[in-house]
Amino acid sequence: MKVVSCALLTLLAMPAFGAMELKARQTVEVYGSSSLQPSLADVDYRLSWQLSGERHEEGCVPAQVLVSLTATVTEPLTWPQTPEWQNYRLALTAYERLVRERALLAAEWLERSLFDIAPQPDCLQLHRVADNVGYHQLGIARTLLEDFQRRHDFGRQLGLIRPAE
């Protein structure tokens, strides 16, 4: 199996001070459910964020937010060199792009939600609220990706049909 890693999204500059980081990992199996073994390719999405607060008269407010989304694709070292398998690989790539679009949307929602946090009495409280907001948005992202996969039968309804061996 080969592993290809790529950074997909960085939304804002690095935080200046008082930064915290929340990391959550969502693994998305590209082909089929756990009952379909072996899977031919797996994608692991990692969504992370950092937030720094700044004191103002009204309290501590978000000053800078960095949200990043990274996907690691694991696929076989070699694919059979037949037209059926090459078509399958193209369909797999197209399907993964659709999943990635949803993951990017989730990262944008996370960024927006973190910036929209109301002023807090102090920056420690801001980080606590940001934790709650982040975990809530990550739950939404997980649900969004899982629902998309189930609704499209893990790509089969979009033409992702594994060729016969």
**Token pair of 87 as six digits:** 């078509």
Ranges of beta strands (E only) in the chain are 2-10, 20-29, 42-56, 59-75
Is the bond into 38 cis (omega within 30 degrees of 0)? Answer: yes
Q: Which residues pair with 54 in a beta bridge?
A: 61
pTM (2 d.p.): 0.70
pLDDT, position 112: 94
Cα distances from 150 to residues 31, 43, 90, in angstroms, run 11, 16, 20
pLDDT, position 39: 61
Whole-angstrom distance, CA of residue 113 vs CA of residue 53: 14
Whole-angstrom distance, CA of residue 79 vs CA of residue 93: 14
- Average pLDDT across each block of 10 residues of the chain; the chain has 165 residues. List them in order: 40 35 39 44 77 91 88 77 88 85 89 94 91 86 85 84 81
pLDDT, position 114: 93
pLDDT, position 22: 40
